[in-house]
C-alpha cells in the first residue's frame, strides 16, 4: 500500500468492531435531522484557541463500513466559526502514522500558515502537533482540507465560516451548511491506479452502436470521425463515476437522506461547499428558486436562479424562502451518472419525490476548442504584450470576445486540423499532451457542460457581479497565458505541458504587480483551478464590479481571463482541484516577491 495513505489495520479493525453505532461520526450541524445554525449562536468550535485531532476511523455508508480519516472523530470535520478581526490559534494534533496537513481554502493568511507540504511548510509529522496562527481579515463561507497525499478523498475536510465585523448585508432567519462530497470504499490509490491503467475505466455510459441505430447519438458524422481520430470519448466527462462513488450531503448518502428543517416563510441561508475529491455537481432544489448572494465567500449582487454548477472547492451562499412542504435537494454529478440527495422540510420525517437522472451530456466540437467564432485581438490599454508569459501567442489564446457578439468566420475544415499543433504554444507537446485546442473561446457565459439546454434559469459566471467596487482596478501590465494540458487516455495532467514532478519554473510575480492570467483549457474536461493566498477578479464584462473568485471552472475548449493583484508575498500553490489531476501533476507554484527579493 502506498505510504502516503497507510492504514493502521489493528486500530481500524478495533474501531470497526463498534461499527453498529456511528452517532459520533457526524458533527451536530450534520446530524441526520438538523435544525440549522441559529444566527444568534449554536454549538461549534469557536474562540481564539482551537484543537483538532486527526485520526483514523471507521465510517459507514448505507450500512457498509470503510476506512476514513476524520477530524475530531467526524465526517465532515467540525464547523469552525470565527469573526473578522479575530486572531486564532489552531493546534492540529496528528494521531496518524503518516504526515498530514490542513490547508485553509480561500483564506488570506501568511504563506507559512497556508498548509501545503513542501511549498509553505514541511507538513505535520506523524504523532506530532502543529499550531496554525493567523488573523481573520475577511468574512464569508470557506472550508479546510488536507493537502497531503489523497487524504481528502477519505474524509479529511470540514466547513469554515467567518462572520463579518460589520452588519451582514445578507439577512436571514436560519442557516444550514451543506457540504457535498464523494465517497468510495475503494482505496484512493486503487482508484488512481485504475485511472492510469485504462482510459475511462469508471465510465459505464459510453455511446454504443445501438445508440446510433436508435437515434440517441447526437454527434454528427464529422464529430464522430474527429473523436475517433483523436481517440477521445465524447462521454468522458467525469473520471470517477457512480461505479466507484456514492455522493454524500453532510456525510449522508441519498438513502440516509440528510434533512434540514425550517419554518415556512423563513429566509433560509444555505452555505454550499463542494468538498468532493473529483466531482463537479449540478445543484438544484426541486421546485424552489435560489437567490445567490455570495460566491467563494465574497458577496455578490443577488441573482435568482433555479440551478448552478459548482466545481470542486467552489462555494455558493444562497437564500431560499420555502413554503410549508418538503423539497428535494439534488446534487447531480456533472456526467449525470448519479446524484446526492437531501431534503429541506418543515418537519422531521417529511420527504419530497426524488426526480430521475436527466439525460447524460455528450461533448461536441466546441468542447474540443473548435469554435467557428472569431473576435477582437486588441491589446488591453497599457499592457506590455512583449512581457507575456508562457504560451502567449494570440493563436494559442484564441479570441477574447469582450462578452459581446462573436464575429462569424468562414466554415472550417475540421478534418484538416492538427490537434497537437506545436506552433500554437511555446512549450514542447510531448506524450503528456494529446491536444492543443485550435480555437478556444471565452465561454464564461456558458452555464457548464450539460446545462446549456435546460428549460430553467442556470447561473452563469457572467451573472456574478461584485456587491462592492473592486479594490484594485488598475489595468494589468502583462498577461500570462497558462495552458491546462493532459493526455486523457494515459491519465497524465499538467500545466503548460509540465507536471509538478518535473520541477518547472514557478510563475514569478513582483509584489503588488497587477497581472492578467489567461487559463486556456486544452483538454476535454472541466478543470476547477484554484489559486492559494489570493483572489482573482473574474473578467466577465462587469468593469469595476468583477466578481472575486479563488476557484474557477474552466470548461473544455475555452479560456478564462482573471485579473490578479499579487499582494501576498510567498510561494503559493496553484492547481486543478480535481484531486487525482493534482496528484498526477496538474499543479504549479506562483512566487510573489518584493522588488528586493526578500519576504516580508
Which tens digits make up the pLDDT trace of 453-484? Answer: 899 999 999 999 999 999 999 999 999 999 99
Query: For residue 476, is it within any domain?
Result: yes
Q: Which pLDDT score, from 0 to 100, does residue 46 have? A: 62
Find the domain containing 7 and state its range: 3-169
Would you call the peptide bond into 271 cis, given omega within 30 degrees of 0 as the criterion?
no
Query: For residue 197, is it within any domain?
Result: no
Question: CA-to-CA distance for 271 and 175, rounded, in angstroms?
Answer: 7
Which tens digits make up the pLDDT trace of 357-405? Answer: 999 888 877 777 776 443 333 334 344 443 344 433 333 333 333 333 3
Q: Is the pLDDT of residue 214 over 70?
A: no
Q: Which pLDDT score, from 0 to 100, does residue 362 have? A: 84
> Are 259 and 342 spatial neighbours (Cβ–Cβ below 8 Å)?
yes
Query: For residue 7, is it within any domain?
Result: yes
Question: Which of 122, 148, 169 is the C-terminal boundary of a domain?
Answer: 169
Q: Which pLDDT score, from 0 to 100, does residue 226 have? A: 66
Q: Is the pLDDT of residue 308 over 90?
A: yes
Q: Which pLDDT score, from 0 to 100, does residue 364 have? A: 76
| Closest to 437 (Cα-Cα) out of 367, 490, 527 | 367
- Give the model's confidence band at 427: pLDDT under 50 very low, under 70 low, under 90 confident, else very high: confident
User: In terms of residues, how long is the chain?
Assistant: 600
Q: Which pLDDT score, from 0 to 100, does residue 200 have? A: 76
Question: Which of 138, 169, 200 is the C-terminal boundary of a domain?
Answer: 169
Question: CA-to-CA distance for 479 and 470, rounded, in angstroms?
Answer: 19
- The residue ranking higher by pLDDT, 49 or 179, is 179
- Specify the CATH number for the domain of residue 53: 2.60.40.420
Query: For residue 136, is it within any domain?
Result: yes
- Give the model's confidence band at 3: pLDDT under 50 very low, under 70 low, under 90 confident, else very high: very low
Query: For residue 321, is it within any domain?
Result: no
Question: Which of 105, 139, 169 is the C-terminal boundary of a domain?
Answer: 169
Query: For residue 500, is it within any domain?
Result: yes
Which tens digits make up the pLDDT trace of 8-48? Answer: 444 443 444 344 344 447 888 899 999 998 544 333 666 67
**Percent with pLDDT over 90 in the chain:** 71
Q: Which residues on neighbouring strands pair with residue 528, listed in sequence order?
A: 553
Query: For residue 156, is it within any domain?
Result: yes
> All 3 cell numbers of residue 566?
499579487
Candidate from 148-152, 212-216, 398-402, 556-560 with smallest mean pLDDT: 398-402
Into how many domains does the chain fold?
Answer: 2
Q: Which pLDDT score, from 0 to 100, does residue 27 have? A: 86
Q: What is the pTM of this model?
A: 0.88
- φ/ψ of residue 285, rounded to 5: -120, 110
Which tens digits make up the pLDDT trace of 238-255? Answer: 999 999 999 999 999 999
Mean pLDDT of the chain: 86
- What is the mean pLDDT of the segment spanning 531-543? 98
Query: For residue 257, is it within any domain?
Result: no
Q: Is the pLDDT of residue 53 over 50?
A: yes
Candidate from 292-296, 344-348, 397-401 with smallest mean pLDDT: 397-401
Amino acid at each position: 500500500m502506498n505510504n502516503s495513505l497507510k492504514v493502521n489495520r489493528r486500530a481500524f479493525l478495533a474501531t470497526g468492531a463498534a461499527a453498529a453505532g456511528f452517532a459520533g461520526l457526524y458533527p451536530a450541524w450534520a446530524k441526520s435531522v438538523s435544525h440549522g445554525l441559529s444566527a444568534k449562536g449554536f454549538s461549534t468550535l469557536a474562540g481564539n484557541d482551537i484543537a483538532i485531532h486527526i485520526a483514523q476511523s471507521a465510517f459507514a455508508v448505507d450500512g457498509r463500513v470503510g476506512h476514513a480519516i476524520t477530524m475530531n472523530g467526524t465526517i465532515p470535520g467540525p464547523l469552525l466559526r470565527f469573526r473578522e478581526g479575530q486572531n486564532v490559534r489552531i493546534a492540529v494534533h496528528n494521531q496518524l502514522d503518516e504526515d498530514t496537513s490542513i490547508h485553509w481554502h480561500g483564506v488570506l493568511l501568511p504563506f507559512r500558515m497556508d498548509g501545503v507540504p513542501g511549498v509553505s511548510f514541511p507538513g505535520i509529522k506523524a504523532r506530532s502537533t502543529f499550531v496554525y496562527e493567523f488573523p481573520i481579515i475577511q468574512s464569508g463561507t470557506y472550508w479546510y482540507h488536507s493537502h497531503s497525499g489523497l487524504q481528502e478523498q477519505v474524509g479529511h475536510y470540514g466547513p469554515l465560516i467567518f462572520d463579518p465585523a460589520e452588519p451582514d448585508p445578507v439577512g436571514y432567519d436560519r442557516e444550514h451548511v451543506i457540504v457535498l462530497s464523494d465517497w468510495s470504499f475503494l482505496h484512493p490509490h486503487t482508484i488512481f491506479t485504475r485511472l492510469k491503467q485504462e482510459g475511462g475505466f469508471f465510465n459505464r455510459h459510453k455511446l454504443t452502436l445501438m445508440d446510433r441505430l436508435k437515434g440517441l447519438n447526437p454527434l454528427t458524422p464529422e464529430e464522430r470521425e474527429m473523436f475517433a481520430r483523436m481517440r477521445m470519448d465524447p462521454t468522458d466527462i467525469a473520471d470517477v463515476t457512480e461505479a466507484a462513488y456514492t455522493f454524500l450531503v453532510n456525510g449522508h448518502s441519498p438513502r440516509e437522506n440528510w434533512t434540514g428543517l425550517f419554518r415556512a416563510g423563513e429566509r433560509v441561508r444555505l452555505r454550499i461547499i463542494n468538498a468532493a475529491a473529483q466531482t463537479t455537481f449540478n445543484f438544484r432544489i426541486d421546485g424552489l428558486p435560489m437567490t445567490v448572494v455570495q460566491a467563494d465567500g465574497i458577496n455578490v449582487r443577488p441573482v435568482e436562479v433555479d440551478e448552478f454548477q459548482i466545481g470542486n472547492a467552489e462555494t455558493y451562499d444562497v437564500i431560499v424562502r420555502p413554503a410549508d412542504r418538503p423539497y428535494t435537494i439534488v446534487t447531480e454529478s456533472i456526467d449525470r451518472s448519479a446524484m446526492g440527495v437531501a431534503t429541506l422540510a418543515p418537519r422531521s420525517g417529511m420527504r419530497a419525490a426524488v426526480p430521475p437522472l436527466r439525460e447524460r451530456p455528450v461533448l461536441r466540437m466546441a468542447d474540443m476548442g473548435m469554435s467557428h467564432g472569431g473576435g477582437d485581438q486588441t491589446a488591453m490599454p497599457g499592457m506590455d504584450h512583449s512581457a507575456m508569459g508562457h504560451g502567449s501567442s494570440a493563436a494559442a489564446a484564441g479570441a477574447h470576445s469582450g462578452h459581446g457578439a462573436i464575429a462569424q468566420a468562414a466554415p472550417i475544415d475540421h478534418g484538416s486540423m492538427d490537434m497537437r499543433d506545436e506552433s500554437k504554444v511555446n512549450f514542447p507537446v510531448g506524450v503528456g499532451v494529446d491536444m492543443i485546442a485550435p480555437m478556444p473561446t471565452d465561454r464564461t457565459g456558458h452555464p457548464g457542460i450539460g446545462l446549456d439546454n435546460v428549460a430553467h434559469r442556470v447561473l452563469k459566471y457572467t451573472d456574478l457581479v461584485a456587491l462592492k467596487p473592486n479594490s484594485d482596478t488598475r489595468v494589468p501590465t502583462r498577461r500570462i497565458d497558462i495552458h491546462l494540458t493532459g493526455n486523457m487516455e494515459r491519465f497524465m495532467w499538467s500545466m503548460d505541458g509540465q507536471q509538478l514532478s518535473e520541477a518547472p519554473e514557478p510563475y514569478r510575480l513582483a509584489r503588488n504587480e497587477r497581472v492578467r492570467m489567461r487559463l486556456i483549457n486544452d483538454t476535454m474536461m472541466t478543470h476547477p483551478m484554484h489559486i492559494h493566498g489570493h483572489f482573482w477578479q473574474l473578467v466577465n464584462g462587469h468593469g469595476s464590479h468583477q466578481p472575486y473568485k479563488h476557484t474557477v471552472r474552466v470548461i473544455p475548449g475555452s479560456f478564462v481571463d482573471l485579473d490578479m493583484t499579487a499582494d501576498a508575498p510567498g510561494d503559493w500553490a496553484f492547481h486543478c482541484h480535481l484531486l487525482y489531476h493534482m496528484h498526477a501533476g496538474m499543479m504549479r507554484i506562483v512566487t510573489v516577491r518584493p522588488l528586493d527579493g526578500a519576504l516580508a
